[in-house]
Amino acid sequence: MTKETKYIYAKFFKADQIFERSFKLSIDKGIFEWDGKVEKKTKSKKKGVTKNAQDLSFFELNQKIFKDFNSFYSIVPSLIAFSLITPGIALKSDTLKLIRDKGEIIEEDNDVVKAKLDTKYASQIDKIAKKAEDLSAISRQFPSIYVVGLITIYDYFIYNLVKIVINKNPNIIFSSEKTITFEQIGSCDTIEDLKSELQEKEIGIILRKSHTEQLDWFSKTIGMKIEPEDRLKGRFVELCERRNLFTHVGGVVTSDYLRKCKSVNFDTGNLKIGDYLKVDKIYLRESIETVIEISAQLLYVVWNKVDPEGAKDSSKSLINIVYNLILEEKFDLSIRIIEFVIGNKSARMDDGTRKRHIVNLANAKKMRGDEDYLEIVDIEDWSAATLDFKVCVSAIKGDVDDFVHVMSLSVNGNHISKEDLTEWPVFKSMRVEKKVKDKFFELFGSNIERGDLGHIEE
């Protein structure tokens, strides 16, 4: 196909701005190049607009977003519990203060208080009760607010992931299907400004799509089908639709909600149109796990496809995600993520990273009480593995004598540290063994202490 180039000259008048620009357009590739002088006359600057905000890399996005998710996971359930008891605490505290200041306590036994109070203070009692009632009404809204907040974090993740993909392949915004107006061209000083404006426009279009349509966009853009398993997709779609109900109709069930849940085989039970949706700690915990899992899968697939050179880091970075999950004893989720990673045929990872995932998978299954954890390590060849791996395998197998022997070699060879032995969860069962305690004291001159859960460090 012959390349067709057109030269266009234009003078733009916009508010108090007048500027002239000439440019050429390569039709077959949709690439703009500035050509000739740009003559500017008066030009007003927009206030409060920040351009070229810090772009995140795949690795930086991974670190930030899962730190946010983990914080949400750790804190929000406690906040829900606290918000539900706050009205009662406030009612009791304010009432007791009034009684002590203006009345007389006759008898006080745990939560039962008998007192005398003049009837003239009845209105103040009513005010205290009204305050507690208002607090109770507000606190009941907190769980739904947390659901909205969770999806907001996910939307921020999608925004940045789309941005990374477009930065890696700018032709996405210059496809033949895109329309670029003279106003857009005239408002930009350079080709980079135009790219930035078109990029934000494209991201805005994608963010306005439904969350399942966003997955379709990634599939089409990277040329690889992204289709979460039915269990995960069902929970994800229901969560997103529930968030929409909380945002727009106060959590009232609609026909659209029921229809979309049915389309992904999500069981809504006895819910019917007009019912109010609620959020308890169990639902919120499952929702956070759903978002973490689908985000981990999406980031991993896109990272491997879009950035083949840096794809090995994607597998390594997920070790940190699994670490935090094991740290919180979220074994189900950690196992699902590891199984997804090592089962992904397009995965790029070195042998050391793969072995770390194998060790963490076997140990998570062991700690969860599964019976097949030994099969996971037995099918792997550990003969050429370094001592830090071998000591972990001995711990998983429960071979105390071999563990003591390999532990001694590992410590003397600086393959493993005192902190590793006291903190890694893979050594949990070994730390209670007398032979292990004795050897540890011999090596370090102190008693082995059980630390926090950990993982195999890089």
| pTM summary value | 0.74
Which segment of 301-315, 352-366, 417-431 scores lowest on mean pLDDT? 301-315
Asked if residue 63 belongs to a domain, the reply is yes
Give CA–CA dist 271/141, Å, rounded.
20
- 18 band by pLDDT with thresholds 50, 70 and 90: very low
Q: How far is CA 114 from the centre of its chain?
A: 50
Q: Domain residues for 366?
A: 330-458
As a whole number, the mean pLDDT across the chain is 79
Asked if residue 419 belongs to a domain, the reply is yes
Tell whether the model's pLDDT for residue 77 goes beyond 80.
Answer: no
pLDDT of amino acid 29 = 42
Which segment of 50-54, 96-100, 203-207, 246-250 scores lowest on mean pLDDT? 50-54
Total tally of structural domains belonging to the chain: 2
Residues forming beta bridges with residue 23, ordered by sequence position: 8, 34
Indicate the residue among 140, 172, 201 that finishes a domain: 140
Indicate the residue among 86, 107, 140 that finishes a domain: 140
Structure tokens at 220: 């089409």
Asked if residue 93 belongs to a domain, the reply is yes
C-alpha dihedral sign at 422, 426, 431, 437: negative
Structure tokens at 291: 């978002």
Asked if residue 402 belongs to a domain, the reply is yes
Where b means 16+ CB within 10 Å and e means fewer, 295-325 reads: bbbbbbbbbbbbbeeebbbbbbbbbbbbbbb
Indicate the residue among 86, 120, 140 that finishes a domain: 140
Asked if residue 342 belongs to a domain, the reply is yes
Asked if residue 158 belongs to a domain, the reply is no
Dihedral pair phi/psi, residue 12, rounded to 5° = -105, 135
Give CA–CA dist 370/246, Å, rounded.
38
Asked if residue 308 belongs to a domain, the reply is no
Asked if residue 430 belongs to a domain, the reply is yes
